[in-house]
Structure 1
């Protein structure tokens, strides 16, 4: 190690230990061995990347690896529309308001975790719409006729609306409701985090770790009633249900009771949370689904079920 490199690293250690804010500490950690983040007047950029970010988007460094990944993609780019940051993926445009959304873009559009193909056209029921990225992913596909999306939190729903309006050529394919699906129809109050929109839940169990917690009043409708009504009004069409609702998936399944799942529903893609997935798996197998369940922990996993 050269003397200049040694001195540089010692300076970064000092910056890290005397940082006033979390972001200052994070920058010092990322720049520990090399100057990977360069600052300019009211802006910053990553080494070897062309795009210059306004300084108010410094929070994106919380997902530094995901940010580096997205900056390296040939079919994706960051842009500014007015003073708002947008990620452009092929023909889609997506507003970026939290670092969490970098991860969602990577998962949905690049890892393609919802890339299901039936060999025919189908409708999607998107429960846990969040800011609308997954709904847009499906609406952008030729084999998807219609997307029915549900998001109970008003602020998150508003962000999704903005993303849909940014993609007017496919916006009409998405029918969205500002409600949640659950065991029964009722109005409840729950915690809400503006920074962790993808972690908000209508279930009783929550492990949100955020300084931006608020209380939100949301409307729930009985899941089986809503889903059965959709299927009944589209008798000649197949349905795929995507569930990513932070634990509410268990109440959604319980809402069906002893009744069978409609034959028009041919696939589920479920991210399950916190509870053991056996209740979900048993209900699916009872309805003649072939089930594949993966997990890296006791807290979360992914189910793909088809018939």
Structure 2
């Protein structure tokens, strides 16, 4: 060992180290004692934590097992009693609903708390009541109710954020969407435009059975377009949701493809969208947020282009609906708007929603571990 080559130096270093220990031994002993005590506390903490974690893990696993078993039992019970549930829903008269898909109709109502109030087979007239208390009249074609109330169509956060808003409902159909909008406390008015007079009268019936909110809805029996004109409309009996002014549309939509031989052609009126909406905004002195809902089975781009060219779309804060004959991309066309969603149903039809830039507020995305 090298330090024994010079024993005097070794003794000096050892003596220096010993003197250093004597000067600091109390601090060292206190540190070592504190370390030992803290180590015991740390070990006690971890032991207690592991005990609690183990106990909670057992409880969590037991809860998950219980919920899974409970859910499994609920599903099995429902499946086992499916036909009984359907029988109660239809009051034992499911056979009277022979002109509709009763399974789809039952599931739509059952899973969305929609009550079947009454049915007149001779009139093909069905009365329903939604969870929000809206009364809805339909025939055996209930597709639009399913889209709006079961699939929660036209539901976007901005409708809950606007302090006051009005809606221009272009393609009012039977009035279902108009009633949904009017049911918002913040909704001050709905201006609904329906080109087909039979469908318009159907909408009036739906408004009439909802007097508490129907006063908010102003219906108009004409369509909107890019001009004032008398036009042909193409209709399917009993399927008013697919009435169109665009003959091309009848070659793309599934319902038309199945029943095109039953097509009826009628005369109807359209008015220039920009002039009509501008007059209403001025005459009604509208200062609240403006919502545009558009679903016109193929003429959406004509209307939107007209509103853009006449600077009326600048007054709109939220635009949503369906596009049926895709041409120019709405992302490029709707300058100053952000795309909230675009959902394709097939190659040519998609639902969309756009909101003015200032109302588009993205929350941070959390990473999922």
User: TM-score, normalising length from structure 2?
Assistant: 0.64
Distance of 1:305 and 1:290 partners within structure 2: 5
Give the gaps of 5 or more residues in structure 2. 1-79, 251-255, 357-369
Note if 1:186 corresponds to 2:234. no
Deviation at 1:270, TM superposition (A): 2.2
Note if 1:218 corresponds to 2:276. no
1:295 alignment partner, one of 312, 330, 344: 344
Q: Deviations over 1:198-243 (max 9, x none)?
A: 1111224232242542221110001111122222233322210001
Deviation at 1:56, TM superposition (A): 5.0
* Aligned position for 2:45: none
Task: Tell me how many residue pairs correspond in the alignment.
Answer: 261
CA shift in 2, pair 1:165/1:235, >3 Å: closer
1:79 alignment partner, one of 99, 107, 117: 117
Q: Is the 8 A contact 1:126 1:135 kept in 2?
A: yes
Q: Which range moved further: 189-198 or 153-162?
A: 189-198
Distance of 1:257 and 1:112 partners within structure 2: 28
Q: Deviations over 1:24-61 (max 9, x none)?
A: xxxxxxxxxx9x879xxxxxx94564534475532122
* Aligned position for 1:8: none
Q: Is the 8 A contact 2:229 2:269 kept in 1?
A: yes
Distance of 1:255 and 1:264 partners within structure 2: 13
Deviation at 1:305, TM superposition (A): 0.7
Distance of 1:205 and 1:53 partners within structure 2: 41
* Aligned position for 1:95: 137
Distance of 1:202 and 1:152 partners within structure 2: 9
Coordinate RMSD, CA, aligned: 2.6
CA shift in 2, pair 1:68/1:175, >3 Å: same
Distance of 1:132 and 1:289 partners within structure 2: 27
Distance of 1:276 and 1:129 partners within structure 2: 23
Relative to its length, the structure with more strand (as a share) is 1
Give secondary structure in 1 for the equivalent of 2:105. Answer: helix
Distance of 1:52 and 1:189 partners within structure 2: 44
Note if 1:140 corresponds to 2:140. no
Distance of 2:239 and 2:214 partners within structure 1: 25
Relative to its length, the structure with more helix (as a share) is 2
Give secondary structure in 2 for the equivalent of 1:136. Answer: helix
* Aligned position for 1:252: 303
Deviation at 1:82, TM superposition (A): 6.4
CA shift in 2, pair 1:53/1:277, >3 Å: farther
* Aligned position for 2:15: none
1:51 alignment partner, one of 91, 103, 126: 91
* Aligned position for 1:67: 105
2:318 alignment partner, one of 263, 267, 270: 267
Deviation at 1:126, TM superposition (A): 0.6
Give the gaps of 5 or more residues in structure 1. 1-33, 39-44
CA shift in 2, pair 1:152/1:111, >3 Å: same
Q: Which range moved further: 66-75 or 108-117?
A: 66-75
Give secondary structure in 1 for the equivalent of 2:100. Answer: helix
Q: Is the 8 A contact 2:308 2:314 kept in 1?
A: no
Give secondary structure in 2 for the equivalent of 1:256. Answer: helix
CA shift in 2, pair 1:73/1:257, >3 Å: closer
Give secondary structure in 2 for the equivalent of 1:60. Answer: coil
For 1:201-212, list aligned pairs within 5 A: 201-207=244-250, 208=256, 209-210=258-259, 212=262
Higher radius of gyration, 1 or 2: 2
